[in-house]
Every structure is written in C-alpha cells, then in structure tokens.
Structure 1
C-alpha cells in the first residue's frame, strides 16, 4: 500500500474524507459492526458535497459528534490493496482533517460503537494507511 501527501489537488479528485478526532485528550476510534478492528472516522464524499461537508457528515455519522472544531490538514492519496479487500489500483485521493469533539449524541450508522483511548490502537482496520495519516498530521503540527 502506497500513501502519499500533497498540499492540494483538483477538488474533483477528492473522493474521501478522513478525520483524526480527539475528545478530552483521548483518541476517538470507530468499531464497525462487521469488523473486529478500529479505525478513525471517515468515508466517501457524496455527490454535491464539498469535501469539508463530507468530513463533517462522516464525523457526525460515525461518532455522534454534535459540537466540534474541525481543521483541514492536507491531501493524501492511496494506491494498492487494503486489508478489507478494496483494490485501489489507481491512485485515489482524499482530504485529511483533525477534529476536537466537545459533545456527542447516539450513533445511527454502520458503526457499532466508538472507543476512546489514551494511546493509539494496534488493532487497525487500515494498518498500512491510518497510522501514516496520523504521523503526517503530527509532522505538520496538527496533533
């Protein structure tokens, strides 16, 4: 799996939004109903959405966040096969965000639950992607 980072790309290329989120100094991880692993919130951009709108929607859907501050970090791209069987043979682009969440409501999505952790997980759904995204956000001073 190849992961690259960019400052910008053409907006129409941005297909995903990933949000590295924390609350009260704890990492927010999502546990999908169909998986035993953890991931940071994120997902596909829907038709007619800006990438920021997609990020806010995914954060709300996957964590129940209702009051939060979100910041754009950078563009990322992935190419290769993911652990969950997605074949990204062409370079696919997304926008990386960070968020501080202040309050939550009940989750109404494919996410079974959120887990708050003092430390990063070792049980990643996307172990070849998401740790690199977190490291890049740290390198750029967002975490």
Structure 2
C-alpha cells in the first residue's frame, strides 16, 4: 500500500472519495472508535453522491464526534494505492472543535481525546502520514 500527499486542489471534487479530519478539542486530538473495531481512527468518511467534499468533511465530523460548533479548513489532498485495487483520492482537513454535543447513534461507539496520535490505529499505513501533514501545516501557520 502506498499513500501520497499532494497540494490542496490537486483533484476535482468528483475524484475525491474521502474526507479525513484531524481535529482538536480543548487542545487535545480527537480520535474515534468504530462500534465494530477495537482500534482508533481520525474522524472521516466517504463523500456521498453529488456532495461537495467540504460538506462531506463537516458532516462526517459532526456524525463521528458529535461536534456542533467548529472551525474547519482543508489542508491537502492524498491518494491511497493498494496492489490490485483502483487508486482512491481524498482530502485532509484540520478542525478546531468549540463544542461537542451528543454522539449520534451511528457507526461510532466512542470518542476519546489524546495528547498525540494513539498507537492502536485502524489505518496505520495511512493515518500517521496525514496526521504529520496537518502538524506541518499548523507549524507553518505560526
């Protein structure tokens, strides 16, 4: 599996299948655990048919964390290529959550705050690189 990162806007909305949102709440990183898994992941998910990827990011952040008020910005685009599969493209976002409400009763079973990236990741080949890109972007803004 190979994950690559690109400048923001490399791919058209129609090409982007995923939105991944590195988020902070009270200065800690927000990770979620799917009800059917025992591993942690960065909030995110699939773009719905005819949905603008920015709207996907906002919807997924709310659905997966219960965030009701937040500031969100796009950081970069990425691709994931698995042998024998088509390449998937996505966009990475950074969000600062101001208010967390009740977690919707959907696929996420738990939300937890961490000082840094947890070790037990659902997608260890992908998430560290995307997390690193957001960290570098944040350092560049200071």
Counterparts of residues 43-122 of structure 1 (less than 5 Å)? 43-80=45-82, 89-108=85-104, 109-122=106-119
- Identify if the C-alpha distance between structure 1 residues 38 and 2 changes in structure 2 by more than 3 Å, giving closer, same or farther: same
TM-score (normalizing by structure 2)? 0.91
Q: Is the 8 A contact 1:68 1:100 kept in 2?
A: yes
- Counterpart of 2:5? 5
Higher-strand-fraction structure? 1
Task: Give the number of equivalent residue pairs.
Answer: 137
The runs of 5 or more residues in structure 2 that have no matched partner are none
| Residue 24 (structure 2) pairs with residue 22 (structure 1) | yes
TM-score (normalizing by structure 1)? 0.90
Offset of 1:140 from its aligned partner? 2.9
The worse-fitting range, judged by mean Cα deviation, of 8-17 and 56-65 is 8-17
Offset of 1:24 from its aligned partner? 1.1
Deviant stretches of 4+, over 6 Å? none
Offset of 1:15 from its aligned partner? 0.6
